[in-house]
Amino acid sequence: MTAATSLARQDNDKRRRELVTPEGLALSLTIASKGTRLGAFLIDFMILIGVSIATVLVFSLLGSEQDQSSSFSEFMMVVQTLFLFVLWNGYFLFFEIGSRGATPGKRLSKIRVASRDGGKLTPAAVVARNLLRDIEFFMPIQLIIVQSIMNIIGQDGGYSLWLVMFWSMIFLLFPFFNKDNLRAGDLIAGTWVVEDPRNTLDVAISTGGAAADGKSTVSGAQYLFSDEELAIYGEYEVKVLEKVLREGQPAAMADVHAAICNKIGWDPGAGDEHAFLEAYYAQLRAKLEGDMRFGKRKADKFSDAG
């Protein structure tokens, strides 16, 4: 193992967290690194800049093809201003409220926003974290630009530029002062940004017994699940099941067994947890892989297949 590989693995271990959902499922996830988050934000920022420039050019061309009456010019300016306002204030909200919980920049960087309590990412949380982004980044940037222009034209802004830059640094460096790389917006909203485990399913673990035909070799019980019972969970949960089966800890299997049974309305009793989980894992995985072939994906229990 090279030194670089060793350091990378140590970094991943430091960023790994165990999250227990409200239903008792233990999920293993990895906090997105500061560099990855910055890269994702820069991608989104460049998209916003590109769309803004394109918008201005389009409205300029539309204006040049029409009679340049003052009323028409004012109308076009109002429409352009409203569009840019919605773009800059709604871009992050629109994408993060969606089932993926990720903007295009985050998706390209393979990270997403998640709730720190293991529950569903709510619109209120997304709104809160993005309102803070205006205070953390966009407002200071605007003030810095204004102050810079004032200095260029010879108007002294006094110490205001330095105060604005100091204010910006407090927020920009905030992720360096907590172990979960949280922005101030994440802290207020109860969210964090994690590596996205949904892009591919790992190679299936080799399971025997009930995984083959749903029949337990211990009790003889037949575990066959309907599409409705399998549709409750997604790719994220199949990875959790795989982890539990690999480790084979009786307590963990009992907890997950109870959570799944409660969710799908089964009551098979205790003592055959391993066979039940093997069967559910194999059938859930088969369903997810079958759906993928038709372009359908279900990220986790909170999202709809599509």
- pLDDT above 70: percentage of residues in the chain: 75
Position 206 pLDDT exceeds 80: no
Residue with tokens 């964090």: 192
Angle between helices 34-64 and 70-97 (to 10 degrees): 160
Q: If you ran DSSP here, which 8-state letter would residue 98 be given?
A: S
Q: With the C-alpha atoms ordered 154, 158, 162, 164, is the resulting torsion angle positive or negative?
A: negative
- Strand 16-20 and strand 191-195: the pairing is unpaired
Q: What is the largest CA-CA distance in the chain?
A: 87
State how far the Cα of 221 lies from the Cα of 223, in Å rounded to an integer.
Answer: 6
Average pLDDT over residues 90-104: 87
10 CB-contact burial (10 Å; exposed 0-12 / middle 13-18 / buried 19+): exposed
Residue with tokens 């084979």: 248
pLDDT grade for 158, boundaries at 50, 70 and 90: low
Cβ contacts of 181 within 8 Å, gap of 6 or more: 15, 31, 32, 33, 34, 37, 175, 192, 193
Q: Which amino acid is at 6?
A: S
User: Tell me, what's the pLDDT at 70?
Assistant: 64
Across the chain, mean pLDDT equals 78
Most confident of 51-55, 120-124, 150-154, 157-161: 51-55
Cβ contacts of 149 within 8 Å, gap of 6 or more: none
CB distance 34 to 174 below 8 Å: no
Paired tokens of 302? 């909170």
Average pLDDT over residues 4-14: 56
User: Tell me, what's the pLDDT at 200?
Assistant: 47
Cβ contacts of 173 within 8 Å, gap of 6 or more: none
pLDDT grade for 25, boundaries at 50, 70 and 90: low
State how far the Cα of 11 lies from the Cα of 99, in Å rounded to an integer.
Answer: 29
How many C-beta neighbours within 10 Å does residue 80 have? Answer: 18
Paired tokens of 295? 């372009």
Average pLDDT over residues 117-144: 81
Please tell me which residue, 12 or 235, carries the higher pLDDT value: 235
Position 207 pLDDT exceeds 50: no
Position 283 pLDDT exceeds 90: no
Lowest mean pLDDT among 200-204, 221-225, 254-258: 200-204
Our CA dihedral for 132, 137, 140, 141, rounded to 10 degrees, sits at: -150
Per DSSP, helices labelled H in the chain are 3-15, 34-64, 70-97, 104-109, 123-133, 139-152, 160-172, 184-189, 210-213, 227-230, 235-247, 250-264, 273-293
State how far the Cα of 163 lies from the Cα of 159, in Å rounded to an integer.
Answer: 6
Q: Which of 151, 113, 145, 148 is nearest to 129 (CA)?
A: 113
CB distance 63 to 75 below 8 Å: no
Paired tokens of 228? 């409705």
Position 8 pLDDT exceeds 80: no
Position 7 pLDDT exceeds 60: no
How many C-beta neighbours within 10 Å does residue 293 have? Answer: 7
